[in-house]
A and B are shown apart, each in its own frame.
Chain A
Amino acid sequence: ETGVTQTPRHLVMGMTNKKSLKCEQHLGHNAMYWYKQSAKKPLELMFVYNFKEQTENNSVPSRFSPECPNSSHLFLHLHTLQPEDSALYLCASSQAEASGRLNTGELFFGEGSRLTVL
């Protein structure tokens, strides 16, 4: 079993649908991330949660809504998306930064959810 599990692996949705992506990590980490990977573009950081608190929202449109109910689970709720939102959405986790200490650990990524918006 991989340390970070994403479901579904593939999703096709219409522009008026509502769907969610799920991420679960089994590594005991306290920081979780959503990244967007589009063809021919650099990896884009979308959201960061440290100890269940959102610490980064990288100017992401409100049609993407994250939820982090606990340190092991992260969701990305999708609503009224556009075709240009079609991409590979990657979840990652790491050890969170404790106060006064910078985390030196690497990110652990899931396999991604390939989203196609029609």
Chain B
Amino acid sequence: AQSVAQPEDQVNVAEGNPLTVKCTYSVSGNPYLFWYVQYPNRGLQFLLKYITGDNLVKGSYGFEAEFNKSQTSFHLKKPSALVSDSALYFCAVRDRDNYGQNFVFGPGTRLSVLP
């Protein structure tokens, strides 16, 4: 069965500092991996995805994520955090070798960027 873990409920970082939001996954086959962001009382917005190819994926708003197969991780990063990055972040996985499997989301990590 698929699963996604986001080990930190909350991440605090000072504005201008680099940020990392952690994600680890478990699938029986090979993964498609996604990051989403949710602002208060809004839906989830797509940030980036890993399908195949380069392990470093660049996405919206200066975010990037690195796929690490040996560690089954897909951590979200940004070199310099903005206060406006404060939101709830979700990692999601699909098993690409298991036709018909749906997306599985992690529990979310709340990012607070302090001015």
CA distance A106 to B45 in the complex (A): 10
The chain B residue with its CB closest to the CB of A56 is B102
Residue of B nearest to A91 (CB): B43
Interface size classification for chain B: 20 to 34
For chain A, give the interface size range. Answer: 20 to 34
Chain B residues with CB under 8 Å of A45's CB are 102-103
A residues sitting closer than 8 Å to B (CB atoms) are 4, 6, 33, 41-43, 45, 48, 55-56, 88, 90, 92, 97, 100, 102, 104, 106-112, 114
* Pair A111/B90 contact, Cβ less than 8 Å: no
Which residues of B are found within 8 Å of A114, using beta-carbon distances? Answer: 41
Name the A residues within 8 Å of B42 (CB-CB).
Answer: 111-112
* Chain B neighbourhood of A108, CB < 8 A: 46
Q: Does B43 lie within 8 Å of A109, measured CB to CB? A: yes
The 6 closest A-B pairs by CB, nearest first: A109-B43, A43-B105, A109-B44, A42-B107, A111-B43, A106-B46
The verdict on B99 contacting chain A, using a C-beta distance below 8 Å, is yes
Given contacts A42-B108, A112-B41, 5 further A-B pairs with CB under 8 A are: A55-B100, A92-B43, A104-B32, A109-B45, A111-B41
Interface residues of B in 53-69 (CB under 8 A from A): none
Q: How far is the CA of A92 from the CA of B102 in the complex (A)?
A: 12
Roughly how many angstroms separate A56 CA and B32 CA in the complex, as a whole number? 20
Q: Which residue of A lies closest to B98 (CB)?
A: A102
Scan residues 69-115 of chain B and give those whose CB is less than 8 A from a CB of chain A.
90, 92, 94, 96, 99-100, 102-103, 105-108
